[in-house]
Structure 1
Amino acid sequence: MLTRRSFAALGAVAGLSACARVPEEAPSRAVATPAAAPIPPLPDFYGAITTEPFPIPAIPEGVLPPESWRREMPNPWPDRRRGTIIIDPDAAVLHFVQSPEQAMRYRVSVGAEGFAWEGTARLQFTRKWPRWKVPATMIERQPELEPYSVANGGMDPGPDNPLGARALYLFKNGKDTLYRVHGDAVPQELGKAVSSGCIRMLDQDVIDLYDRSVHGAEVTVLPSMKPQQVSQLY
């Protein structure tokens, strides 16, 4: 089975590091570096989920800092309707508007497609444990994904499916934007640009967003100020 983590590694470029030799006559001087502050214990909502068709493991302790935890916060967009989703690809955050006063904030990772599209779309539908149907444009870049094309029915749901436990599908003017908000992120990816996909979330977070989501709500993707990242990711 070709997993998301295996195909994401395709085409990776290995870097070389050079070492400089310290002259023997130069005295060595140890530089003390402050120890990193320990990461506090995770909230219970990042624990294992055993009530799903496929088990979702707990987020390991010590890898997800508090700034990446989902949290309720003052709403930065008080004029938006409840259910509106605003995605800032550069900041790698997603906000869900709960009320004029409050919003839920989630940390995400952003794939190449996440930098390539912007604007306001409609949340057309959502899916639990969706099938992954690889777009033709992605197959052009990675022909080995042909078995999971639309014509071939896509990839079965499950822990190896790169859409994860949930997916939100965005349409504009009645047409699929091919832009997805979905699960299967790993903690180390959050806040970073990744090789493929649109907006990835931890499965625990995307399930929470799915449960809150409002059918037909507006989803606004803010313009990226980092267009160079798109070419680097493709």
Structure 2
Amino acid sequence: MASDRHKPAEISRRLLVFGAPLFLAACQTDGTTPAPSLSMYGPVNGEPFAVEAVDTTEIDPQYLRQVVNYPGKYPPGTIVVDVEDKFLYFVLKDGKAVRYGVGVGKQGYSYRGWATIKRKEKWPTWTPTANMIRLQPQRYGPYASGLPGGEENPLGPRALYLYDGDRDTMFRLHGTIEPWSIGTQVSSGCIRLLNQDIIDLYERVPLGTRVYVM
């Protein structure tokens, strides 16, 4: 939450933290799986806004991106989110998956079941839901018309929008301005990834990708 020293017009990272209500794994690596390369979490070039390097010392190594064994029942190209263990899997061929650590919604706030990615956005606009504004008008009311994409936007550099048929579920897979929240249960429902990870996932998945949140 923003401290008293922040001016009303100033956008504070603490104000927009998903862990202070904005919304929104099963297989383990075996002994032969190499440790994830930390170079993938360096600064990202070529973006309209800065994507800073991640301080990986504040993240449990299990939540860093890596390829793992995944002998599950889901076909290649499926995204599976394990809310309890805080992992997101992008299923590959031959019993493998790319595993990402995620931050998930507080108890009772997470989406469950099947959804489809029907919209993808780079540097998306964030708009609080009507319910968020109703519950915390002072916090979210100023952003009722939307906050454009940028370094202070809580959705980060990319967002994947989950639909149930033609209905927008209002849940997203997105980046975060709080990388240390990965591996925790802090948001109001959406699934957050490290910014470098959501950029990686964004490039892997086409529109129409099926997502199962378990």
Matched residue, 2:93? 99
Instruction: Say which one has the larger Rg.
Output: 1
Instruction: State the identity as a percent.
Output: 39
Query: Which one scores higher on RCO, CA 8 angstroms, separation ≥ 6?
Result: 2
Map residues 54-65 of structure 1 onto 2, 5 A cutoff: 54-65=49-60
What residue number does 2:26 align with? none
Correspondent of 1:162 among 154, 168, 171: 154
CA distance in 1, matches of 2:204, 2:170: 22
Mapping 1:90-129, distance limit 5 Å: 90-112=84-106, 115-129=109-123
Task: Report the CA distance between 1:117 and its aligned residue.
Answer: 1.9
Q: CA deviation at 1:186?
A: 3.0
Segments of structure 2 that go 5 or more residues without pairing to the other structure are: 1-9, 22-34
Shift of residue 7, structure 1, vs aligned partner: 4.1
Residue in structure 1 matching 2:180, options 185, 188, 199:
188
Offset of 1:100 from its aligned partner? 4.1
The aligned runs of 1:56-75 (5 Å cut-off) are 56-75=51-70
Alpha-carbon distance in structure 2 between the residues aligned to 1:133 and 1:60? 28
Deviation by residue 1:20-72 (Cα, 9 ceiling, x = unmatched): xxxxxxxxxxxxxxxxxxxx996210001121111111112522332121001
Task: Please point out which of 6, 21, 24 is paired with 2:15.
Answer: 6
Q: Give the superposition deviation at 1:216.
A: 0.4
Aligned-pair Cα RMSD in Å? 2.3
Q: Which amino acid aligns with 2:148?
A: D
- Give the TM-score normalised by the residue count of structure 1: 0.74
Alignment partner of 1:134: what SS? coil
Letter in 2 for 1:191: G
Tell me which residue corresponds to 1:46: 41
**2:7 aligned residue:** none
Q: Structure 1 49/10 Cα, relative in aligned 2: closer, same or farther at 3 Å?
A: closer
Distance 2:201 2:56 in 1: 22
Q: Which residue of structure 2 lines up, in the alignment, with residue 31 of structure 1?
A: none
| Matching of residue 205 in structure 1 with residue 194 in structure 2 | no
Kindly provide the CA deviation profile for residues 99-153 of structure 1, in whole angstroms up to 9, marking residues without a partner as x: 242210000011238843211011111111000011111111221312322xx2x
Q: What residue identity is the alignment partner of 2:38?
A: P
Equivalent residue letter for 1:47: G
What are the ranges of 5 or more consecutive residues in structure 1 without an aligned counterpart?
Answer: 12-39, 223-234
Identify the residue that residue 135 of structure 2 maps to in structure 1: 141
Which of 65, 86, 89 is the matching residue for 2:80? 86
Matched, 1:176 2:168: yes
C-alpha distance in 1, partners of 2:162/2:14?
24
Change (3 A) 1:108 1:210: same
Question: Counterpart in 2 of 1:225?
Answer: none
The 1:94/1:102 distance shift into structure 2, 3 A limit, reads same
Number of residue-to-residue matches in the alignment:
190
Using structure 2 for the length normalisation, give the TM-score. Answer: 0.80
Paired residues of 1:41 and 1:62 also in contact (CA < 8 A)? no
State the AA in 1 paired with 2:186: V
